[in-house]
Structure 1
Amino acid sequence: MKIFADLHLHSHYSRATSNKMNIENLERYAKIKGINLLGTGDFTHPSWLDELKRSLIEVGNTGLFQFKDKSIYFMLQAEVSNIYNQDEKTRKIHNVILAPSFEIVEQINDFLKNYGKLASDGRPILTNINCAELVESLINISRDTVIIPAHIWTPWFSLFGSKSGFDSIEGCFKDKTKHVFALETGLSSDPAMNWRLSSLDNFALVSNSDSHSPWPNRLGRELNVFDIEMKYKDIINAIKNKNPKEFLYTVEVDPSYGKYHWDGHRNCNVCLNPKESRKYHDICPVCGNPLTIGVEHRVEELADRKEGFVPKNAIVFKTLLPLSELIAHIYNTQPFSKKVWTESTKLIKSFDSELNVLLNANRENLKLLVNERLVDLIIKNREGKLKVQPGYDGVYGKLILDGKISIKQPQKRIDSYINK
């Protein structure tokens, strides 16, 4: 069975998250996107866990769940923020947790509540427990529990983050590294960047959206594609074993699109590549404050291989920007605008899902529905031929076409005009 899986997202109980992030909307927009397996997000939050228990039914003994429409599967998933001191430095590391049953989730939550207020945020802050201790404790609860370091290069809250991370996986997880078999690349890096570190060769690289809203331009913007049975253990084993016949590929946005790809200082509109930053000693040339060091710079610091190296048996990836970004560029508007929603809906109704439009729809059939400029963008997107001005210091990257950067005018929120 072909599985399109986004295994890291959040509920409406997480900070800075849409109040539309509920199971019903997740199911609705996952179908529009073309996803058939989603993480639940935030199972550590008591109120969200109650909603999940009321809404979801386990499918046989698969370790996966479904909502009333029974078209989308869900995997129990959460993200925690470990904040602690190690080696005279404050560490702030986000970790994704996966589990196959509500019983195991209850035990996990009973343990985690000793280290943080689980009801305070969908992504709770845990103190006085380091990442190695977290892994050991969760594995002791159940060997089926999976811990995946989240968006491992993000400056502020990640394994290799320039602000509060480590220089190696072993530095973070110590002797419990043996229980960590997958790493989440995050929006600002792709597998090719991670392949430059030989120390990561034994780890599977997974990609997820970390979405804070259910809309198709956020949900599944990065995901994993499998060809296996829809079972928790089969999916986990496919990731762990890195079998290219089962774990087919990941879908990635161009890493330049991510909010922390290059270095910079948002308040001064300063965006610099690593070479330029080093020239300024990582200091903003406008105001003199430290730059936020981005992912490409951090990869350069830790890499022991040149660009272009591909490890043996690496899982391949495809680079795609969301359909809404392409349409917004053509019409010089926001991805959330009514025009974008109308045009994308037209395509999705004809080709069943956004992913099918982006990955498979042929040029001639596309030309019957939308203008040729948009068709060209869709094909170039599929072929990895689009260019993006890099994001920096919390600012998303911008699509470049014919030397022009997208200029987007303010629009209403998407939920102001879609069908309720």
Structure 2
Amino acid sequence: MKFLADLHIHSRYSLATSKNTDVESLCISARKKGITVLGTGDFTHPAWFGELKEKLVRAKDGLYKPNKSISGKIEKFIPESCEGIIRFIPTAEICNIYKKGGRTRKIHSIILLPDLSLAEKLNRRLRKIGKTESDGRPIFTFDVVNLLEMVFDITDRAMFIPAHIWTPWYSLFGSRSGFDSMEECFGDFSKYIFAAETGLSSDPDMCRRFSGLDGVTLISNSDAHSPMKIGREANIFNTSVCYDSIILAIKKGCPEEFAGTVEYYPEEGKYYADGHRNCRQSLLPEETDRCGGVCPVCRKQITIGVLHRIQALSDKAKKKETTQKYLKTIPLLEILSEIFQLNPGSKKLLLWYNKLLEQFGPELDILNFTGIGEIRNSGVPLLAEAIERMRKNEVTITPGFDGKYGTIEIFKKEEIAGMKLMLNRLSGI
């Protein structure tokens, strides 16, 4: 069966995350988004791990599902049109900070395990050599290769995935603390790396300009720090809903089983362009080169973004069109926010959001698959036009840089102004 999986999220125990994140809210949001398989995130954190053991039970397919008490509690918060199952895979993200090749390296990695008992075994080992209770994404000061060895020593069914591989800080190829190749980081253990996470600021076509990723499956996940961010990126599988089938599909990377990804517009990612946020300087790679890599205002070092870093490592003459299919999306609340000119978190927008889910089903279905003709009957002026433009990439983007998200505009201001009276009336629901 075809389904969506988001394998990299965080609990409320990670830094800079929503304190309202619990198993219940994750289940509700996943169903509303149309996500079938969700990573648990943060299984290394003792309190979160305890909550996972308490609230999840083993399903017949071998994955985890919410227990009966949780399942009964959440149904009243989910529209009937968003029917479906929700399954969990034990996942965690770990940070390694260490010296190698004369430089400080900061690498984030995603770990997938087939069951919570193996996660508990890994947790016991990690607690002997560092702290796991202070952050859901724990930091260790040993080589990431040693972490990989530790994980596969526990089970050869694990999957070890470099996270958001182009982010300037804390990533495999990051401009500030990363490496120039998989082999430089992992050496002979590179053969155990079957997948890499693109991150919000790149897409598969950008990544395929670098031959160092040939033969590696490019996956995409939300890295959500709150339930509403789930599914902003995700993976499309066409397999049975079970751990081994998912892992095998990633390893093989064939489109019949790993059917593609749902992508953020990379320009909207907060590290797409170069820049210096404090001075409000956003630069394209050629502009950074002309400035000698320093801010034209204060002369401090520019943060080299994902686009520039990919260009620097690119060894292919031109952007290679990947055979991997992917869908670029804009979160539905962001679209509604532009139409109604309201904050994405406003109660009025949330009312419209839920009304649309009741009418058409999960968010990712609306954005990618629901017919434009059907959406014209939604009662929201410009919504069908907005989604059609999104699907055709007919949008205007101000790129993100140095930790600041980019902005997307679907409409010109006069288009919104022409509908202002009707929109004001509708926003009063």
Q: TM-score, normalised by structure 2?
A: 0.90
> More helix by proportion, 1 or 2?
2
- Is 1:82 the counterpart of 2:123? The answer is no
* Distance in 1 separating the partners of 2:179 and 2:396: 31
* Distance in 2 separating the partners of 1:114 and 1:48: 19
- Is 1:167 the counterpart of 2:176? The answer is no
* Distance in 2 separating the partners of 1:384 and 1:58: 41
The aligned counterpart of 1:344 is 353
The aligned counterpart of 2:382 is 373
The aligned counterpart of 2:60 is 60
The aligned counterpart of 1:397 is 406
The aligned counterpart of 2:392 is 383
- Is 1:125 the counterpart of 2:139? The answer is yes
The aligned counterpart of 2:123 is 109
Report the CA distance between 1:374 and its aligned residue.
2.2
Residue type at the aligned position of 1:253: Y
Size of the alignment, in residue pairs? 402
* Distance in 2 separating the partners of 1:279 and 1:403: 32
Does the CA contact (< 8 Å) of 2:63 and 2:87 recur in 1? Answer: no
Report the CA distance between 1:67 and its aligned residue.
4.0
Residue type at the aligned position of 1:162: S
Q: Deviations over 1:17-37 (max 9, x none)?
A: 101111000001111111111
Of 241, 258, 278 in structure 2, the residue corresponding to residue 247 of structure 1 is: 258
The aligned counterpart of 1:415 is none
The aligned counterpart of 1:27 is 27
The aligned counterpart of 2:206 is 193
Report the CA distance between 1:332 and its aligned residue.
2.1
* Distance in 2 separating the partners of 1:307 and 1:384: 20
**1:359-370 correspondence to structure 2 within 5 Å:** 359-370=368-379
* Distance in 2 separating the partners of 1:154 and 1:134: 20
Residue type at the aligned position of 1:320: T
Residue type at the aligned position of 1:85: K
Does the CA contact (< 8 Å) of 1:64 and 1:231 recur in 2? Answer: no
Q: Secondary structure at the match of 1:24?
A: helix
Residue type at the aligned position of 2:225: H
Q: Secondary structure at the match of 2:227?
A: coil
Report the CA distance between 1:241 and its aligned residue.
0.3
* Distance in 1 separating the partners of 2:148 and 2:412: 47
* Distance in 1 separating the partners of 2:66 and 2:190: 32
* Distance in 2 separating the partners of 1:179 and 1:64: 25
Give the stretch that moved more between structures: 9-18 or 381-390.
Answer: 381-390
Report the CA distance between 1:181 and its aligned residue.
0.5
The aligned counterpart of 2:363 is 354
Report the CA distance between 1:308 and its aligned residue.
3.1
Residue type at the aligned position of 1:390: P
Does the CA contact (< 8 Å) of 2:8 and 2:91 recur in 1? Answer: yes
The aligned counterpart of 1:72 is 86
Q: Secondary structure at the match of 1:119?
A: coil
Q: Deviations over 1:327-379 (max 9, x none)?
A: 11112232222232122222111111101110122222212223342211111
Does the CA contact (< 8 Å) of 1:64 and 1:232 recur in 2? Answer: no
* Distance in 1 separating the partners of 2:122 and 2:413: 50
The aligned counterpart of 1:297 is 308
The aligned counterpart of 2:325 is 316
* Distance in 2 separating the partners of 1:67 and 1:240: 31
Give the stretch that moved more between structures: 86-95 or 102-111.
Answer: 102-111
Residue type at the aligned position of 2:287: E
The aligned counterpart of 1:43 is 43
Residue type at the aligned position of 2:153: N
Q: Secondary structure at the match of 1:196?
A: coil
Gaps of 5+ in 2: 72-83, 417-429
* Distance in 2 separating the partners of 1:264 and 1:221: 24
Of 279, 289, 297 in structure 2, the residue corresponding to residue 268 of structure 1 is: 279
Does the CA contact (< 8 Å) of 1:8 and 1:96 recur in 2? Answer: yes
* Distance in 1 separating the partners of 2:396 and 2:317: 22
Q: Deviations over 1:287-342 (max 9, x none)?
A: 1111111000000000011443135xx32111111111111111223222223212
Report the CA distance between 1:109 and its aligned residue.
1.0
* Distance in 1 separating the partners of 2:412 and 2:398: 10
* Distance in 2 separating the partners of 1:196 and 1:20: 40
The aligned counterpart of 1:418 is none
Residue type at the aligned position of 1:71: I
* Distance in 2 separating the partners of 1:28 and 1:63: 18
Q: Secondary structure at the match of 2:130?
A: coil
Report the CA distance between 1:402 and its aligned residue.
5.0
Does the CA contact (< 8 Å) of 2:262 and 2:326 recur in 1? Answer: yes
* Distance in 2 separating the partners of 1:55 and 1:401: 41
The aligned counterpart of 1:224 is 235
